[in-house]
Amino acid sequence: MNEFNAVDPTATWMQIIAILTAAADSPHTTAAARPDLHSLALGAQIVASRAVALLPFDSDGDLEDLVLEVAASSTVGELIRAAAKAAHRYPLDRFPAGAAAVISELDDLVADAEAAS
């Protein structure tokens, strides 16, 4: 099966949001312990909130039903990279209007994660 047929773009967009939220909520990102990871976590939360704003109004509640396909032990950087990989699964025009700006911010966040590791 072609990867484009595996999950529809709206479900993928919600997965991106859920993965970024998991990165933001990572217990290893306290400012005192690792300020670099804390900054990445905050960036993940900002990008996630911008992605949520692009969802159709009636799909926001569906986020709670998502099952993440990432390991619970994933680092903040791994989660950010997983979200970016999902974001590049489809052409930009298959995602909600405004997705290009969010994905650009996500790509910047990946670069920051690479620099921090």
| Residue-number span of the structural domain to which 87 is assigned | 7-116
Q: What is the pLDDT of residue 61?
A: 55
Domain membership of residue 1 (yes or no) is: no
Q: Output the CA torsion sign for 45, 50, 54, 60.
A: positive
Domain membership of residue 85 (yes or no) is: yes
- Closest C-alpha among 108, 42, 103, 33 to residue 76: 42
Domain membership of residue 33 (yes or no) is: yes
Domain membership of residue 29 (yes or no) is: yes
pLDDT of residue 82 exceeding 70, the answer is yes
Tally of structural domains, the chain: 1
What are the pLDDT digits (tens) for 11-23?
Answer: 899 999 999 999 9
Domain membership of residue 50 (yes or no) is: yes
Domain membership of residue 2 (yes or no) is: no
What are the pLDDT digits (tens) for 30-79?
Answer: 555 677 788 999 999 999 999 999 987 776 555 566 556 666 678 899 99
